[in-house]
């Protein structure tokens, strides 16, 4: 019996299973989470040294593409990664997305993380307490942070301390940049390295500084 005949009902993840047989893939985790997620149709490729926890009440919405967890540049660069999808949280996969080694991704109870086409380089930290949406062709450089909450209210202020982050299409976020709650980054924007972004960024703008401000307009960039 052929491979295709053996797995007629798993059309959505025949390819992920094939890739799981590669030596650099964690076979057990890859097969387990592909069976468990989204009725066998969610392609998730898990590399070594990834601590992956998906709550039984969490939801994965697969609209296309594959999520690659713990990708590395070479064999020597495997660093421990963490991906936590907590109770009633939602992960939305819309296209191919690579999360490199050393990243810490936490989607809190009831929160949502949406991923388009793109990549997070080594040691990126993402904490979604409410909602973080990442568009297509987005590249997030090493050691960047996306955090949509202050975690704690300060003093007696009634100001919201959690607000969604939205990143548009074709966005570049530089090394060690920090994106905080309530920020929307427009299509084609560039965030310079070491920037602290606390206000929304216009489309095709280059922002930088602490706090970040517009340095140039109508910029273009490419990988």
Q: What amino acid positions are annotated as catalytic residues? A: 152
Inter-residue contact 162 to 148 (CB < 8 Å): yes
Residues near 10 by Cβ (< 8 Å), separated by ≥ 6?
Answer: 17, 40
Query: Other CB atoms closer than 10 Å to residue 1's CB: what's the count?
Result: 5
DSSP per residue over 105-145, as a string? EEE-TT-EEEE-SEEE-TT-EEEESSEEEE-SSEEE-TT-E
Question: What is the DSSP-derived secondary structure letter of residue 10?
Answer: -
């Amino acid at each position: 019996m052929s491979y295709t005949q053996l797995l007629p009902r798993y059309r959505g993840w025949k390819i992920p299973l094939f890739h799981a047989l590669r030596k650099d893939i964690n076979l057990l985790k890859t097969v387990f989470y592909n069976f468990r997620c989204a009725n066998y149709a969610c392609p998730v490729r898990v590399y070594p040294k990834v601590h992956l926890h998906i709550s039984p009440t969490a939801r994965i919405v697969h609209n296309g593409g594959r999520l690659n967890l713990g990708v590395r540049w070479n064999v020597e660069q495997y660093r421990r990664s963490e991906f936590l999808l907590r109770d009633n949280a939602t992960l939305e996969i819309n296209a191919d997305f690579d999360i490199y080694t050393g990243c810490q991704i936490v989607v809190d109870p009831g929160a949502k993380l949406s991923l388009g086409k793109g990549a997070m380089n080594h040691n990126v930290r993402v904490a979604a307490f409410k909602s973080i949406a990442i568009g297509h062709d987005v590249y997030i450089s090493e050691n960047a942070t996306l955090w949509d909450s202050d975690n704690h209210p300060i003093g007696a202020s009634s100001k919201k301390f959690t607000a969604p982050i939205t990143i548009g299409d074709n966005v570049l976020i530089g090394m060690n940049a920090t994106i905080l709650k309530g920020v929307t980054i427009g299509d084609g924007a560039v965030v310079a390295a070491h920037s602290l972004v606390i206000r929304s960024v216009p489309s095709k703008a280059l922002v930088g500084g602490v706090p970040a401000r517009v340095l140039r307009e109508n910029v273009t960039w490419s990988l």
